[in-house]
Amino acid sequence: MNRKTIIMLCLLVGAAAQQSCNKKENTVMTSGQDNPLIAEWNTPFEVPPFDKIQNSHFKPAILEGIKDHQKDIQAIVDNKEQPSFENVIAAIDNSGETLSKVTTVLYNLTSANTNDELQKLSQEMAPTLSEHNDNIYLNDALFQKVKTVYNQYQITKPETLKLSAEQQMLLDETYKRFVRSGANLSAENKDKLKKLNSELSVLSLKYGDNLLNETNNYELVIDKKENLAGLPAELIEAAAEEAKAKNKEGKYVFTLSNSSVMPFLQYADNRELRKTIWNAYQVRGNQNNGNDNKENVLKIANFRMQKAQLLGYKNHAEYVLEESMAKNPEAVNTLLMKLWTPAVNKAKQEATDIQALMRKEGINEDVAPADWRYYAEKIRKERYNLDEQELKPYLSLENVRKGIFDVTNKLWGLTYKELTNVPKYHADVTVWEVFDANKKTLGLLYMDMHPRESKRGGAWMTSYRDQQMENGKRKNPVISIVCNFTKPTATTPSLLTFDETTTFFHEFGHALHGLLSNVNYRSLAGTNVPRDFVELPSQIMENWAAEPEVLKMYAKHYKTGEVIPDALIEKMKKAGTFDQGFATTEYLAASFLDMKYHTATEEIKDDVNTFEINAMKEAGLIDAIIPRYRSTYFSHIFAGGYSAGYYSYIWSAVLDTDAFEAFKTAGLFNSEKALMFRKYVLEKGGTEDPAELYRKFRGADPKIEPLLKKRGLN
């Protein structure tokens, strides 16, 4: 997944620091120079002073940041000069720097390294921050100034105001942000909107906290070695180390982290245990306990609908998609349906193949979701003589990272230097200075690769500081990639599946979007683009991962250094479209579920399970597959930034496969194409219309045929 993802403490490096962060801290820290969040960040590259931040610093820093932001806004309102782009629009963009810094650290670390105190603080402060945001965008005096500048531009034409294209975009986006935030509503409706915003801000946090708790609370403990049959040695070793860490030495613990549960489902011979861990995985947040998310789902969906209708839209999807490349729900559904029928047809054939293999093994039951990955892996091995375990020794985390560095060096001349003198929020994190071809610093990159109980699942990119221009000088961004790849053990480095390898390439594509950004205004920088365009830089990077020429650059055996054999690459190529019916169908099913919740025009009164079942029946999903994310653990849409936007991965897939055709035709590392992609996509952020940017790079609109071919759906 990606960016401003909405994410989020601090664990200091070293045992003593770790203890100080984990204990309860009730002391209220003073603001100003005594609070490291507010004081000047005299750190290398002005990164957050993670080694000094304590839980108790956040609340006073937020309150201080709100005061400072209010002063900034009031100064704009009180300015007696004629409203202009600089004293209104640019001033708004530059306002609230302290608050932005503090909340960015809080929410990033609440996702990557949280604890009970920080989760509680986030929920406590959510209504306050929501109210502060509303006080800005519903400030009529401020809006009138924005409106004055906007109308000047509309009436007197761009050439008279002498705004650059980027300034024009910032003006348009600022005006729309006020209108879409309710600036034109009556006083009564503004109050209704404020209440809805406050409720939603808390509900999304509760949803995410419940999901994290559900994931952390489950353990599959195995004490009989015969029940480990079929599992790879490194997974067994990781489970033994997990057990040891949980004071269960001599046993084996499997968790609901993807790096644990997914290979268990793929390889464990014991069908009953596969069913057990699968059931635990797919009922997260749906168990009528203290972490149940069903009520949160309905409230979030219904409140979003009410908010959209208050603002003059039929439903939440219409509200969201107005600011996307798709523009409306009809365009989204048209794309999804173009892919749905061929994907389901292929999935049905895949299910038939699995059923036949199960019958051979004497299992006369229908294919169940818990069976799919196990038997698909058997068929892959039988049909293509390809066992994913053959690949993993060539895909150590270090080698894949070096491969990514080499690819980006060949494309754009980027180089990387690991830093050891920079504050980090956890000992697992590495920090890299990124240089362009002229050895000039582009930015800093944090990488946090392994799962832990303080981190939510999945993979994402975010930023601690977006790129911007300050006094005519580029202020370098601070970007972070967070993943959940298998930890190294005492005898084996972190070995990735090929799917995890492409995930690393994917998130690095997002990081490039942030690092190579070259705009003037922070709100338009990097990944601040429409949701269905933001995945283009990430997904196009995945294409290089599978190219034979690139595989030979990075896929080297962790013990011998042997380059991946041609025969193994050939087997990968032949199996390239294998199981794509399943992969595409489970993804599309989740996209349909997202749209079903967010195209509702009346309050959803069904319970969540009934709603979900009916939505999947309506779509025509087969029983052997469930949506990639069920409602109660669909954090992308209920605790992230992808509501009415989960479709964007497939929308961007059309873009990325079409765009990669340009490189396939001209050469994988063609300097001209690389320069154009950097110039028109990676550097531009949200400064121009994304469809126009794509046409500038590609010379034409994207075609869907390359995607159908890549997935074997044509």
Model confidence over 263-279: pLDDT tens digits? 999 999 999 999 999 99
Per-residue pLDDT band at 10 (split at 50, 70, 90): very low
pLDDT of 159 reads: 63
Decide: helix, strand or coil at residue 628.
coil
pTM of the model: 0.92
Query: Looking at residues 107-129, what average pLDDT do you find?
Result: 96
Query: Looking at residues 596-610, what average pLDDT do you find?
Result: 97
Is the per-residue pLDDT at 228 higher than 90? yes
Q: Which residue has the higher pLDDT, 9 or 487?
A: 487
Distance CA 440, CA 438 (A): 5
CATH architecture of 50-183: Up-down Bundle (1.20)
| DSSP for 304-359, written as a single string | HHHHHHHTT-SSHHHHHHTTSSS-SHHHHHHHHHHHHHHHHHHHHHHHHHHHHHHH
The least confident of 16-30, 237-251, 326-340, 619-633 is 16-30
**Is 361 marked active-site?**
no
Is the per-residue pLDDT at 288 higher than 90? yes
Distance CA 339, CA 344 (A): 9
What residue has token string 């108790």? 56
What residue has token string 């906007």? 150
Residues in Cβ contact with 700 at an 8 Å cutoff, skipping those fewer than 6 apart: none
Q: What's the token pair of residue 390?
A: 């053959």
Q: For 474-491, what is each residue's pLDDT tens digit?
A: 999 999 999 999 999 999
Is the per-residue pLDDT at 160 higher than 90? no
Pairing verdict, β 441-448 and 460-465 = unpaired
Per-residue pLDDT band at 15 (split at 50, 70, 90): very low
pLDDT more than 90, % of the chain = 93
Is the per-residue pLDDT at 2 higher than 80? no
Q: 436 with 412: CB under 8 angstroms?
A: yes
Catalytic residue among 117, 507, 586, 612: 507
Q: Closest Cα partner for 305 from 291, 315, 296? A: 315
Query: Looking at residues 297-310, what average pLDDT do you find?
Result: 98
What residue has token string 């107005």? 322
Per-residue pLDDT band at 153 (split at 50, 70, 90): confident
Is the per-residue pLDDT at 375 higher than 50? yes
Q: What's the chain's average pLDDT?
A: 93
Helix (H) or strand (E) holding 419: strand 415-419
Query: Looking at residues 286-305, what average pLDDT do you find?
Result: 97
Is the per-residue pLDDT at 334 higher than 60? yes
Query: Looking at residues 154-160, what average pLDDT do you find?
Result: 66
Query: Looking at residues 663-692, what average pLDDT do you find?
Result: 97
Q: Which residue has the higher pLDDT, 19 or 153?
A: 153
Q: What is the DSSP letter of 495?
A: B
Cα three-residue angle 108-114-117, rounded to 5 degrees: 120
Query: Looking at residues 6-34, what average pLDDT do you find?
Result: 34
pLDDT of 231 reads: 97
CATH topology agreement for domains 293-391+582-645 and 393-563+648-711: yes
pLDDT of 420 reads: 96
What residue has token string 């972070």? 480
pLDDT of 8 reads: 28
Per-residue pLDDT band at 714 (split at 50, 70, 90): confident
Map out the domains of the chain as residue ranges.
Answer: 50-183, 218-282, 293-391+582-645, 393-563+648-711
pLDDT of 158 reads: 57
Distance CA 131, CA 63 (A): 12
Q: 633 with 284: CB under 8 angstroms?
A: yes
Is the per-residue pLDDT at 4 higher than 60? no
Helix (H) or strand (E) holding 462: strand 460-465
Q: Closest Cα partner for 599 from 313, 325, 199? A: 313
Is the per-residue pLDDT at 1 higher than 80? no
Q: Which fold would CATH assign to domain 293-391+582-645?
A: Neurolysin; domain 3 (1.10.1370)
Helix (H) or strand (E) holding 279: helix 271-282
Per-residue pLDDT band at 85 (split at 50, 70, 90): very high
8, amino acid identity = M
Q: Closest Cα partner for 304 from 529, 532, 588, 599? A: 599
Q: Which fold would CATH assign to domain 393-563+648-711?
A: Neurolysin; domain 3 (1.10.1370)
